[in-house]
C-alpha cells in the first residue's frame, strides 16, 4: 500500500519541498533535462505500460508519442477537474504529495518539448490552487522552473487555471475550450489534442494521478513499475472508496486487487446489519454491478471489470447497501447528468432532461410501469448518439439498474408490472 | 483604464501574463473571479469592462457567466453554503444534513436568510465524498471546504459570521 | 453565358457510394454535401454548407462503411466475388463531420438510420412547442417538414412537463427570439462569429437551459442580423419586419436587385395583396436570392429592411406644374408640353443632373437627350474613375469567391463594411482563404481585423500611398513631394507593395473616405497605374473596383454620364435644369441656391424632395419595384430587376419620361419597355454588345444547392431562377492595352486647424432609408468624430453635444472619439444633413 502515489502517508511532511528533495525529489527531472533525450523519457513511460487514470485508460507513453512534431509550440495540460461523483483521489495527491505530482507534469512537459504547462483545476479547488501557486513560485525561486534550466537550453513554466463549476470541463476537449476562455463544450474529434489541442497546438492532456506516477517510473524504471498490478494493467491505482462502507477514503492498491479486498479488508466492510447490494466502480457514470460473490471476487483492472458488466473508469468505487432503492439512486445520478449536460448534443440535452422527469415521477411513486419502460427506452435512445461520453454516462446507471434491480422499480410503480419489453440489455 | 483595471491593475496584468499575448481571451475566467469579489456577483458594467480588457464582446463574457455555476449574475448571500447532496454524499446523510441546516436557518435550498448573510444551495459532487456530510462556502473572497460536518458545527460557523458582520 | 458551376473540381476527385449511387466529389467534401451533389437529402439542422461543421444536432446520422485492408498484405480486402470488403461501424456517424474518402459506402435511409433519426427528432420535439399554425416559419420550416417525414406518430412526452419559455424575446428591435422554438443548433451564433465577425449573440446557461442572449448596445448590434432568420432551421428567430405579417405560402416571389450599394445583391421581393393598401400588391419582405458570384446567399440588414421608400406615403402620383408660384397637379400632356417648350429654346443650355440610382436604360436615354441638346449629362456624385474601371476593371469571369492563396486584395480609402457590406464579407473570406489583404485607411476599420497589412496615412495622401507602393518596386521618379518620400520609408508599405507586385491576381478597391472629386480622380489614376504596372489587368480575378456611393454609378459612367467639378455653377447657368433621381437641395445649401438660380427646373422623382419643391415641373417616376430594368454593379456585372408590384396610375418609368421629353427635339428614343431600351444601349456600347435581357436571365446550377425543397439545408434564401446576370469584359480584356497616366501629385495643403473629412455610413439619413421606421433607432445622428487629443484640447467629451461651423453653417452635433484617427481630422459622415463634399476647414466648440 501507498507505494507510489500516496507515499505521503508513509513519509511525513512530503508536501514540503526540502523533505521531498531529501527523498530524491526533482533529481529525476534534473537528470532528464541534463542527461536524457526527451524521447528517452517517453520510451520509459511507454515501456512501463502506464495507462491514463482519468477514466479512459489510454496508454500514456503512446499518447505522448502522438504529438505532432511539425507544429509548435507544444503544450501540456493537466486535467485536475476531478468532478466525477465518487472521485476524490487527485485532490489528495495534489494536497499531500504536490511535488511528486508537479515533477510528473514537468517530466511530461520535457518529454514532449513543452515550455508551458497548464493545470486546470475545478473551481472548487480554490484553496488547493492557491497552495499550488505557492509551490510553483517556490520551484521558480529554487531554479527548478524557469528558463535555461540547469544550464540547459530547456525552459519550463507552470500555470494553474481555475474552472468554475462544470463537470463537462473534465472532458479533455471541453477543458481545452474552457481554458481558451470559451464555453466548456466538447470539440469534434478527430483531430485529437496531440495534433490539435490548446490554441490549436499539439497538446498532451493527462490526469493528475497519471502524471504523479511518472517521477518514480522514470527514477526506478519500467520493470520496477510493472512489478505492481497486472500484465495489461500495470502499476498501482488510487481507489476512491465511498458510499455505504465503514471506512471510506482513498486506497492505493495494485491494479487487479479484488472488490472484496478493497471493501472488506481495507474499507472495513458494510455498516453493521446491512448487506452490500451493488457497486458502482466508476462513479456516477458507472453501471451498477450486482454485488454477488462473482463480482466481489473480480479483480479491479481495465480488462476484468467489463466481465461483470461495468468499466473501471476512474476507479471511484461507490458501495450501495440493501437499504438503498435504485429508483432513488438513479434519480440522483440522472439529476447530476441533466445538470451537467453542456447542451451541445440533442440526445444528451433533451434526453437527460426527459429522464429527469421520469425518474422524479417514478421515485415519487406517481408513475406506472410504462414510465419505467419509457425511461429505459429514452436512455437506450441516447446511447451512442453523442459527441462526448457524457451522454452515454448518463444512461449507464439507468439501464443497468432497470435490468438488474427490476424489483426496486416494480415496488415503486402503481400498475402491476407487465412483461418488460426487449431493448433492455443485461 | 476602466474601473476594474484601476482597482486590480497589477493582478490583472499578472493573470494576463499566464497566457500567450494573442490568447488574452483565456483570462476571462480568472477576471470574472476578480470581478465577483466586488459584489459577490458579476454586474452588467463588469461584463463590459472585462470585454474591453480582453477585446471580446460583452456577450462572449456573459455566456461564460451563464455556463459556469460558480459565477453569479445576481446578488446572493454574503456567504453561499453549497452543500453537496450528490449520490455518494447522500448515501452518507447529506440530504438529512441539508434539510436540518435549512430548518435551522428557516430557508429552503436556493434561498437567502433575511439578513442577507447566508444562501444555502444544494450542489453536485465536490470531491469530498469520504467526508460527508460536507459543504463549501463561496464568499466574495474565496471558496473553502468544510467536511465531516454536523448541523451544529455548521450553525456555529454561521454564528461566527453573524458576529463579525454584526448581524 | 453564365459562368460554370462552383464547387471547384480542379483536384482529382474522390469516388464513394451513397445509397447505391456512385458519386465523385472533391476531396475534403463532407458526406452530407456529397449526398446533396448526388441528389440525396440527408437531413441536417446544425450543419450549414457555408459554415464549419460542429456535429451537434445529431440529425444527420448515417451508416458509414469503410473498405477493409488486409493486415498482412496492406492491400484492400476483397469478398469472394472480388468486390472490396466493407466494414460498417457499430455506431451511426454524423454525415456532416465525415469527409469523403475513396471507396466509402454511405447508407442514408436504412431502417436503422430511419429509426435513430426518429429518435433524434423525438428528442427535439420533447421541448419544442406545437404552435406551427401560428409560427412565422410555418410552411418553410425544416423541423415541421422533417417531422412529417420521420417524426414519431404521437408524443410520448407528457405535455405538462414540456418546458415553458419566453416566446417573444426581442434581441434588439430587428430580431425576435422565441426561446421555446430554439433547438440550440448554434447556426445563428456561429454565423455571427465565423462568417461576419460580430459575436454579439451567444449561448448562456447550458444543457436544456441553453439560450440565445445578446449583451450588445443596441441589442443584436450587427448589419447582418437578418441572415440569421434565414438560416435558423425553426421559427426561433424572426424579423420584427415580417413577424405575423403574412404566411410564406401567400407570398409571390419576384427577382430583384438591391439598389442601395454597388454590390447589387440579388434579392427576391415577396409581395402580397394588402387590404391596408387598398387591395394593392405590396412588398412584404426582401429576401436574399442566391448568386455565388455576387452575394452568395446573404444580404445586409439595410438591403433587407430599407425598402419602404418605394411605397412611402409622400410619393408623387401626378405631374406638377408651377402656376402662379404654386406647384399644381396637371396631366402628363400639359406637363410634358411645358417642358418641351423650354427644352426647345434651351439651345445648348440643357443641364441634366442624374442620381446614381437610376437604371442603365434611364442613363442611356438621358445621355442621348443631352447629346442631342448639346448639354452636359452630369452624374450627381463626388467620386471619379468609372472610365478607368471600364478600362482595367475586374476581368470577365472574375469571382471574388475564387480569391485565396496566391492573390492579394488592396482596399484603400474605405470603411468597406459601411459602404458595401457584402464586399466586406467576401474580401474577409478571401483573406481567410489565404489571400493577402492590405487595408490602407487613415483610421482603424473593421476590415483591419482580417488584414495582413493595415497601412495608415494622413487624409489627402491616398493617391500618394499608391504612388509610393509603385515607386517602391519600379524606377523612382524625381519629382517626389516630401510627403511621398516619407511614405517611401514605411517598411510595412514596402513589404505590402512587394507582395502585391508578385501575386498571381490582384484586386484593388478604392472608396471615397476623405476624398473630393479631384482627390478621387487622383486616387483612381494611381490605383489603375498600380494594376497596370504590375500586370494585373485584362484577366479574371484582377482589376479595379470603385466602391461607389450609389447602386448604379458604374452604369452611369459606362453610359457616358460624368460628375462635375463645378456643379453649382453649371446648375446655376442652366436654361433648363433637368434633375433626375437626385436631391441636391437637401444635401447642400450652395446647391439649393444653384437650383433656385437656374431659369427653369424640371425634377423627375419618386417623392416631393426639397429639390422637387423648388422645381417648375415635377414628373412622377416609377420606383424600381414597379418596372423592369438593369443595373451594372461595381464589379461590372449587369443584372436585371423585374416588376414586383403593379405601377401606380400616373407614374412613368424614368427612361420613358426622358424619351418623351426627347421627342421635343425630334429625337426618337425607346419609351415603351426596358428590354428594348436595353437593346439600343447594348448596340451602342462595346462592353454591352450582344447582351439582351434573355442573356441576363440565364442561370446555372450553383453550389451550395439551396433549393426550396429542403430549407433545412441552405435556409430560406431563394434559389436563383431568374438570372445571374453577365460579367462585362474590361477594355483590357478586349485587348486594348491601357496606358499609365500620372496626374502630378501635389503636397497636401499645410494644415491649419481642424479639417472636416467626409466618410460614409451604412445607416445614414438618405432618402432611401429614412422611410423605413424599423431602422430609425439605428440611424446615425449628426456627429463629428475626433481623435482624443483634439477633443481634449477643444474641451469636448464623448457623447456630448458640440457646436460645429462648416461652410458658414453652424449646427449641433454629437461628439464621438476614435483613438485611431490622425490629429486635426474631424470626420463627418455623409448624408446626415451636414453639407460636405470634400475636406473643408471646420470649427468645433463645446
Ligand atoms: C464527461 C467526461 C468527464 C471527464 N472528467 C474527467 C475528470 O474529471 N478528470 C480527468 O482526469 N479525466 C476526465 N475525463 C477523461 C478525459 O476526457 C481524458 O480522457 C483524460 O483527462 C485523459 O487523461 P489520462 O489519459 O491521463 O486519463 C472525462 C471524460 C468525460 C467524457
Ligand atoms: S454528450 Fe452531452 S455533454 Fe457531451 S457534448 Fe453532447 S451535449 Fe455536451
Ligand atoms: S450533427 Fe450533422 S447536421 Fe447537426
Interface contact C161-A357, CB threshold 8 A: yes
- Which atom of ligand 2 approaches the CA of A391 most closely? 1
Cβ-Cβ contacts under 8 Å, A196 against chain C? none
The whole-number pLDDT of residue B134 equals: 98
Cis peptide preceding B133, ω within 30 of 0: yes
Mean pLDDT, residues C449-471:
94
Q: pLDDT class for C131, splitting at 50, 70, 90? A: confident
Question: Hey, how many other C-beta atoms are within 10 angstroms of the C-beta on C815?
Answer: 21
How near does any CA of chain B get to the CA of C450, in Å?
15
Tens digits of residue pLDDT in C199-223: 999 999 999 999 999 999 999 999 9
Which residues in C lie closer than 8 A to residue B60 (C-beta atoms)?
Answer: 199, 202
Q: Does the beta carbon of A52 sit less than 6 angstroms from any atom of ligand 1?
A: yes
Distances (CA, A) of A65 to A207, A404, C58, C758: 17, 42, 32, 59
User: What percent of chain B has pLDDT above 70?
Assistant: 100
Give the pLDDT confidence of B22-69 residue by residue, as tens digits.
999 999 999 999 999 999 999 999 999 999 999 999 999 999 999 999
Mean pLDDT of C350-358: 98
Contact at CB, B59 and C206, closer than 8 angstroms: no
What confidence tens digit (pLDDT) does each residue in A104-150 have? 999 999 999 999 999 999 999 999 999 999 999 999 999 999 999 99
**Nearby residues of A229 by Cβ (< 8 Å), 6 or more positions away:** A235, A236, A237, A254, A255, A256, A301
Nearest to B127 among A82, A127, A199 (CB): A82
C-alpha distances in Å from residue C154, one per residue of A342, A368, C142, C151, C183: 28, 19, 19, 9, 20
Contact A188 C184 (CB under 8 A): no
Query: Do the Cβ atoms of B68 and A161 come within 8 Å?
Result: no
- Which of C91, C122, C207 is closest, CB to CB, to A343? C207
d(CA A292, CA C298): 64
pLDDT of C1 reads 37
Helix, strand or coil for residue C497? helix
Asked whether the predicted pLDDT for residue C146 surpasses 90, the reply is: no
Is the CB–ligand 2 distance for residue A344 below 6 Å? Answer: yes
Contact check, Cβ <8 Å, C207/A386:
no
Is B14 in CB contact (< 8 Å) with chain A? Answer: no
Q: Determine if ligand 1 sits within 6 Å of the CB of residue A171.
A: yes
User: Residue C4 above 60 pLDDT?
Assistant: no
- Within A141-264, strands assigned E span 157-162, 203-207, 236-243, 249-254
Model confidence at C476: pLDDT above 90: no
Asked whether A194 and A176 are in contact (CB, 8 A), the reply is no
Tell me whether the omega of the peptide bond preceding residue C696 falls within 30 degrees of 0, making it cis.
no
Res C134: pLDDT: 72
DSSP letter at A200?
G
Q: How far apart are CA C786 and CA C774, in angstroms?
A: 29
Q: How confident is residue C451, by pLDDT bands cut at 50, 70 and 90? A: very high
Q: Give the mutation target among A172, A185, A311 for probing the ligand 1 site: most ligand atoms within 8 A of CB.
A: A172
Q: What is the pLDDT of residue B166?
A: 87
Q: Mean pLDDT in chain C?
A: 92
Question: In what side-by-side order are the strands of the sheet with C726-727?
Answer: C629-632, C637-641, C726-727
Residues 6+ apart with CB under 8 A from A48: A61, A213, A217, A221, A222, A225, A226, A234, A235
Tell me the pLDDT band of C154, cut-offs 50, 70 and 90: low
Name the percent of chain C lying above pLDDT 90: 81
Over residues C34-79, the pLDDT tens digits come to 999 999 999 999 999 999 999 999 999 999 999 999 888 888 999 9
Residue A417 has a pLDDT of 46
Q: Whose CA is nearest to atom 1 of ligand 3?
A: C55
Q: Which of A153-162, C340-349, C474-483: highest mean pLDDT?
A: A153-162
The C-alpha torsion from C680 through C681 and C683 to C684, rounded to 10°, is 120
| Residue among A80, A81, A85, A239 with most chain B CBs within 10 A, to mutate | A85
CB contact under 8 A, A385 and C127: no
Stretch 55-84 of chain B: residues touching chain C, C-beta under 8 Å: 56-63, 65-67
Is A388 close to ligand 2, i.e. is its CB under 6 Å away? Answer: yes
- The DSSP string of B18-86 is TS-GGGGGGGHHHHHHHHHHHHSS--HHHHHHHHHHHTS-HHHHHHHHHH-TT--SS---SEEEEEE-S
Largest CA distance in chain A: 77
Distance (Å) from CA C549 to ligand 2 centroid? 49
| pLDDT interval class at C475 (50, 70, 90) | low
Average pLDDT over residues C766-784: 94
Any ligand 1 atom below 6 A from CB of A242:
no
Q: Work out the percent of chain C whose per-residue pLDDT is above 70.
A: 95
CB contact B57 to A (< 8 Å)? no
Residue among C33, C41, C56, C143 to mutate when testing ligand 3 (max atoms within 8 A of CB): C56
pLDDT tens for residues A205-241? 999 999 999 999 999 999 999 999 999 999 999 999 9
CB contact under 8 A, B59 and C205: no
Chain C residues whose CB is inside 8 A of the B58 CB are 215-216
Query: What does DSSP assign to residue A263?
Result: I
- Measured in angstroms, how far is the CA atom of residue C550 from the centroid of ligand 1? 58
- Looking at residue C489, what is its pLDDT? 86
Is the distance from CB of C763 to CB of C780 less than 8 angstroms? yes
Choose among C54, C57, C157: nearest Cβ to A354. C157
**Residue C29 CA, ligand 3 centroid: distance in Å:** 15
What average pLDDT score do residues A172-198 get?
97
First to last CA, chain A: 35
Interface partners of chain C (CB pairs < 8 Å, 3 or more) are A, B
How confident is residue C147, by pLDDT bands cut at 50, 70 and 90?
Answer: confident
| CA nearest to A317, candidates A286, A290, A283 | A283
User: What residue ranges line ligand 3, CB within 6 angstroms?
Assistant: C 44-47, 55-60, 94, 96
- Asked if A384 lies within 8 A of C58 by C-beta distance, the reply is no
SS3 C547: coil
**Entry pTM:** 0.95
Average pLDDT of chain A?
96
What's the pLDDT tens digit per position in A405-423?
999 999 888 754 444 444 4
Q: Taking 80 as the threshold, does the pLDDT of residue C427 lie above it?
A: yes
* Each residue's pLDDT tens digit, C645-662: 999 889 999 999 999 999
How much is the average pLDDT of A338-352? 97
In angstroms, rounded to a whole number, what is the distance separating the alpha carbons of residues A9 and A11?
Answer: 6
The answer to whether the Cβ–Cβ distance between C215 and B57 falls below 8 Å is: yes
Q: Which residue's alpha carbon is nearest to atom 4 within ligand 2?
A: A388
Interval A41-87: pLDDT, tens: 999 999 999 999 999 999 999 999 999 999 999 999 999 999 999 99
| Helix, strand, coil content of chain B in percent (nearest 5) | 55, 15, 35
**Residue B122 pLDDT more than 60?**
yes
> How many angstroms separate the CA atoms of C846 and C844, rounded?
7
Task: Kindly give, in sequence order, each residue whose CB lies less than 8 Å from that of residue C154, ignoring residues fewer than 6 positions away.
Answer: none
Q: Is B30 on the interface with A (CB under 8 A)?
A: yes
Whether A122 has its CB under 8 Å from any CB of chain B: the answer is yes
pLDDT of residue C737: 83
Confirm or reject: Cβ of A106 under 6 Å from ligand 2.
no
Structure confidence at residue C153 (pLDDT): 57
Whole-complex ipTM: 0.94
Q: Which ligand is nearest to the CA of A353?
A: 2
Amino acid at each position: 500500500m501507498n507505494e507510489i502515489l500516496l507515499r505521503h502517508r508513509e513519509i511525513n511532511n512530503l508536501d514540503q519541498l526540502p523533505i521531498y528533495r531529501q527523498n530524491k525529489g526533482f533529481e529525476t527531472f534534473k537528470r532528464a533535462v541534463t542527461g536524457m533525450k526527451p524521447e528517452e523519457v517517453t520510451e520509459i513511460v511507454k515501456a512501463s505500460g502506464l495507462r491514463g487514470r482519468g477514466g479512459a485508460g489510454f496508454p500514456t507513453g503512446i499518447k505522448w508519442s502522438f504529438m505532432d512534431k511539425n507544429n509548435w509550440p507544444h503544450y501540456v495540460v493537466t486535467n485536475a477537474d476531478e468532478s466525477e461523483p465518487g472521485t476524490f483521489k487527485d485532490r489528495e495527491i495534489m494536497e499531500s504529495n504536490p511535488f511528486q505530482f508537479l515533477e510528473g507534469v514537468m517530466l511530461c512537459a520535457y518529454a514532449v518539448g513543452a515550455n508551458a504547462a497548464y493545470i486546470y483545476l475545478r473551481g472548487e479547488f480554490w484553496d488547493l490552487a492557491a497552495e499550488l501557486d505557492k509551490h510553483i513560485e517556490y520551484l521558480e525561486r529554487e531554479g527548478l522552473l524557469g528558463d535555461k534550466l540547469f544550464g540547459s537550453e530547456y525552459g519550463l513554466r507552470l500555470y494553474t487555471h481555475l474552472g468554475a463549476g462544470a463537470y463537462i470541463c473534465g472532458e479533455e476537449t471541453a477543458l481545452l475550450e474552457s481554458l481558451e476562455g470559451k464555453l466548456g463544450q466538447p470539440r469534434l474529434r478527430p483531430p485529437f489534442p496531440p495534433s490539435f489541442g490548446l490554441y490549436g497546438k499539439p497538446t498532451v492532456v493527462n490526469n493528475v494521478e497519471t502524471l504523479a506516477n511518472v517521477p518514480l517510473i522514470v527514477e526506478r524504471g519500467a520493470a520496477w513499475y510493472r512489478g505492481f498490478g497486472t500484465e495489461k494493467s500495470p502499476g498501482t491505482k488510487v481507489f476512491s472508496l465511498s458510499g455505504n462502507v465503514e471506512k471510506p477514503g482513498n486506497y492505493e492498491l495494485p491494479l487487479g486487487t479484488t472488490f472484496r479486498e478493497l471493501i472488506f479488508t481495507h474499507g472495513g466492510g458494510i455498516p453493521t446489519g446491512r448487506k452490500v447490494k451493488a457497486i458502482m466502480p466508476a462513479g456516477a457514470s458507472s453501471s451498477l454491478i450486482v454485488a454477488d460473490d462473482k463480482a466481489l471476487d473480480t479483480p479491479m483492472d481495465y480488462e476484468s471489470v467489463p466481465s461483470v458488466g461495468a468499466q473501471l473508469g476512474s476507479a471511484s468505487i461507490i458501495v450501495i447497501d440493501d437499504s438503498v432503492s435504485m429508483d432513488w439512486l438513479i434519480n440522483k445520478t440522472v439529476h447530476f447528468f441533466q445538470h451537467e449536460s453542456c447542451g451541445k448534443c440533442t440526445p444528451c440535452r433533451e434526453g437527460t432532461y426527459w429522464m429527469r422527469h421520469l425518474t422524479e415521477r417514478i421515485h415519487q411513486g406517481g408513475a406506472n410501469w410504462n414510465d419505467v419502460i419509457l425511461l429505459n427506452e429514452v436512455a437506450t435512445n441516447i446511447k451512442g448518439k453523442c459527441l462526448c461520453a457524457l451522454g452515454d454516462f448518463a444512461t449507464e446507471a439507468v439501464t443497468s439498474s432497470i435490468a438488474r434491480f427490476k424489483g426496486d422499480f416494480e415496488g415503486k410503480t402503481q400498475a402491476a408490472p407487465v412483461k418488460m419489453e426487449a431493448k433492455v440489455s443485461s | 483604464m476602466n474601473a476594474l483595471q484601476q482597482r486590480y491593475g497589477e493582478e490583472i496584468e499578472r493573470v494576463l501574463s499566464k497566457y500567450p499575448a494573442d490568447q488574452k481571451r483565456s483570462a476571462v475566467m480568472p477576471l470574472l473571479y476578480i470581478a465577483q469579489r466586488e459584489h459577490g456577483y458579476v454586474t452588467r458594467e463588469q461584463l463590459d469592462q472585462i470585454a474591453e480588457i480582453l477585446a471580446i464582446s460583452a456577450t462572449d463574457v456573459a455566456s461564460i457567466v451563464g455556463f459556469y455555476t460558480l459565477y453569479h449574475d445576481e446578488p446572493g448571500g454574503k456567504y453561499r453554503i453549497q452543500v453537496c447532496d450528490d449520490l455518494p454524499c447522500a448515501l452518507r446523510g447529506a440530504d438529512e444534513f441539508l434539510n436540518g441546516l435549512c430548518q435551522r436557518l428557516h430557508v429552503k435550498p436556493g434561498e437567502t436568510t433575511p439578513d442577507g448573510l447566508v444562501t444555502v444551495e444544494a450542489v453536485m459532487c465536490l470531491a469530498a465524498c469520504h467526508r460527508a456530510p460536507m459543504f463549501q462556502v463561496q464568499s466574495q473572497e474565496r471558496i473553502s471546504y468544510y467536511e465531516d460536518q454536523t448541523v451544529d458545527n455548521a450553525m456555529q460557523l454561521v454564528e461566527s459570521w453573524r458576529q463579525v458582520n454584526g448581524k | 453565358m453564365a459562368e460554370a458551376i462552383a464547387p471547384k473540381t480542379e483536384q482529382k476527385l474522390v469516388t464513394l457510394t451513397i445509397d447505391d449511387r456512385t458519386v465523385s466529389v472533391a476531396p475534403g467534401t463532407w458526406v452530407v454535401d456529397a449526398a446533396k451533389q448526388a441528389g440525396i437529402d440527408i437531413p441536417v439542422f446544425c450543419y450549414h454548407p457555408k459554415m464549419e461543421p460542429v456535429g451537434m444536432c445529431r440529425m444527420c446520422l448515417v451508416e458509414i462503411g469503410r473498405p477493409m485492408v488486409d493486415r498482412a498484405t496492406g492491400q484492400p480486402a476483397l469478398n469472394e466475388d472480388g468486390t472490396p470488403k466493407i466494414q460498417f461501424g457499430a455506431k451511426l456517424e454524423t454525415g456532416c463531420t465525415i469527409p469523403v474518402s475513396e471507396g466509402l459506402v454511405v447508407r442514408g435511409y436504412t431502417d436503422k438510420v430511419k429509426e435513430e433519426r426518429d429518435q433524434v427528432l423525438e428528442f427535439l420535439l420533447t421541448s419544442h412547442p406545437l404552435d406551427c399554425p401560428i409560427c412565422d416559419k410555418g410552411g418553410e420550416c425544416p423541423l415541421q417538414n422533417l417531422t412529417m417525414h420521420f417524426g414519431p406518430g404521437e408524443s410520448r412526452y407528457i405535455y405538462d412537463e414540456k418546458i415553458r419559455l419566453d416566446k417573444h424575446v426581442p434581441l434588439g428591435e430587428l430580431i425576435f427570439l422565441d426561446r421555446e422554438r430554439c433547438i440550440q443548433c448554434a447556426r445563428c451564433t456561429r454565423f455571427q462569429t465565423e462568417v461576419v465577425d460580430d459575436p454579439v449573440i451567444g449561448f448562456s446557461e447550458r444543457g436544456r437551459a441553453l439560450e440565445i442572449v445578446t449583451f450588445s448596445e443596441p441589442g443584436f448590434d450587427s448589419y447582418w442580423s437578418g441572415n440569421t432568420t434565414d438560416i435558423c432551421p425553426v421559427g426561433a428567430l424572426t424579423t420584427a419586419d415580417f413577424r405575423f405579417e403574412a404566411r410564406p405560402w401567400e407570398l409571390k416571389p419576384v427577382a430583384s436587385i438591391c439598389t442601395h450599394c454597388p454590390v447589387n445583391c440579388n434579392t427576391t421581393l415577396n409581395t402580397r395583396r394588402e387590404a391596408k393598401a387598398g387591395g394593392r400588391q405590396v412588398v412584404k419582405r426582401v429576401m436574399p436570392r442566391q448568386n455565388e458570384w455576387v452575394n452568395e446567399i446573404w444580404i445586409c440588414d439595410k438591403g433587407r429592411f430599407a425598402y419602404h421608400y418605394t411605397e412611402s406615403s409622400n410619393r408623387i402620383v401626378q405631374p406638377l406644374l408651377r402656376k402662379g408660384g404654386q406647384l399644381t397637379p396637371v396631366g402628363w400632356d400639359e406637363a410634358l408640353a411645358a417642358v418641351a417648350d423650354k427644352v426647345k429654346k434651351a439651345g445648348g443650355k440643357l443641364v441634366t443632373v442624374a442620381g446614381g440610382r437610376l437604371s442603365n436604360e434611364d442613363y442611356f436615354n438621358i445621355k442621348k437627350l443631352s447629346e442631342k441638346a448639346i448639354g452636359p449629362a452630369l452624374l450627381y456624385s463626388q467620386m471619379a474613375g468609372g472610365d478607368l474601371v471600364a478600362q482595367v476593371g475586374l476581368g470577365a469571369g472574375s469571382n471574388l469567391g475564387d480569391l485565396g492563396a496566391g492573390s492579394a486584395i488592396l482596399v484603400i480609402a474605405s470603411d468597406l463594411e459601411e459602404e458595401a457590406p457584402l464586399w466586406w464579407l467576401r474580401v474577409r473570406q478571401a483573406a481567410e482563404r489565404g489571400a493577402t489583404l492590405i487595408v490602407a485607411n487613415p483610421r482603424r476599420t473593421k476590415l483591419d481585423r482580417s488584414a495582413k497589412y493595415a497601412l495608415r496615412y494622413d487624409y489627402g495622401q491616398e493617391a500618394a500611398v499608391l504612388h509610393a507602393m509603385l515607386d517602391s518596386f519600379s524606377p523612382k521618379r524625381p519629382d517626389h513631394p516630401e510627403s511621398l518620400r516619407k511614405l517611401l520609408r514605411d517598411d510595412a508599405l514596402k513589404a505590402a507593395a512587394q507582395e502585391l507586385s508578385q501575386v498571381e491576381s490582384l484586386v484593388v478597391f478604392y472608396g471615397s473616405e476623405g476624398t473630393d472629386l479631384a482627390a478621387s480622380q487622383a486616387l483612381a489614376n494611381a490605383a489603375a497605374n498600380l494594376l497596370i504596372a504590375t500586370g494585373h489587368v485584362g484577366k479574371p480575378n484582377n482589376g479595379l473596383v470603385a466602391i461607389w456611393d450609389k447602386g448604379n454609378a458604374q452604369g452611369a459612367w459606362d453610359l457616358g454620364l460624368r460628375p462635375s467639378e463645378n456643379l453649382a455653377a453649371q446648375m446655376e447657368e442652366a436654361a433648363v435644369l433637368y434633375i433626375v433621381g437626385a436631391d441636391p437641395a437637401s444635401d447642400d445649401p450652395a446647391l439649393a441656391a444653384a437650383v433656385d438660380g437656374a431659369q427653369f427646373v424640371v425634377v423627375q422623382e419618386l417623392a416631393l424632395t426639397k429639390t422637387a419643391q423648388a422645381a417648375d415641373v415635377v414628373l412622377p417616376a416609377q420606383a424600381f419595384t414597379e418596372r423592369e430594368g438593369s443595373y451594372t454593379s461595381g464589379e461590372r456585372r449587369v443584372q436585371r430587376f423585374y416588376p414586383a408590384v403593379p405601377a401606380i396610375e400616373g407614374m412613368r418609368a424614368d427612361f420613358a419620361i426622358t424619351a418623351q421629353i426627347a421627342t421635343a427635339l425630334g429625337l426618337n428614343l425607346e419609351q415603351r419597355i426596358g428590354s428594348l431600351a436595353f437593346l439600343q444601349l447594348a448596340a451602342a456600347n462595346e462592353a454591352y454588345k450582344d447582351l439582351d435581357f434573355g442573356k441576363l436571365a440565364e442561370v446555372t446550377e450553383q453550389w451550395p444547392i439551396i433549393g426550396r425543397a429542403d430549407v433545412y439545408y441552405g435556409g430560406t434564401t431563394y434559389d436563383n431562377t431568374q438570372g445571374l446576370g453577365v460579367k462585362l469584359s474590361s477594355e483590357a480584356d478586349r485587348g486594348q492595352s491601357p496606358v499609365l497616366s500620372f496626374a502630378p501629385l501635389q503636397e497636401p495643403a499645410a494644415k491649419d486647424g481642424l479639417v472636416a473629412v467626409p466618410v460614409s455610413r451604412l445607416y445614414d439619413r438618405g432618402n432611401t432609408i429614412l422611410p423605413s421606421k424599423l431602422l430609425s433607432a439605428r440611424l446615425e445622428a449628426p456627429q463629428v468624430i475626433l481623435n482624443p487629443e483634439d477633443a481634449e484640447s477643444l474641451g469636448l467629451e464623448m457623447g456630448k453635444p458640440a457646436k460645429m461651423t462648416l461652410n458658414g453653417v453652424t449646427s449641433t452635433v454629437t461628439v464621438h472619439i476614435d483613438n485611431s484617427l490622425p490629429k486635426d481630422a474631424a470626420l463627418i459622415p455623409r448624408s446626415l444633413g451636414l453639407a460636405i463634399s470634400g475636406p473643408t476647414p471646420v470649427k468645433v466648440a463645446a
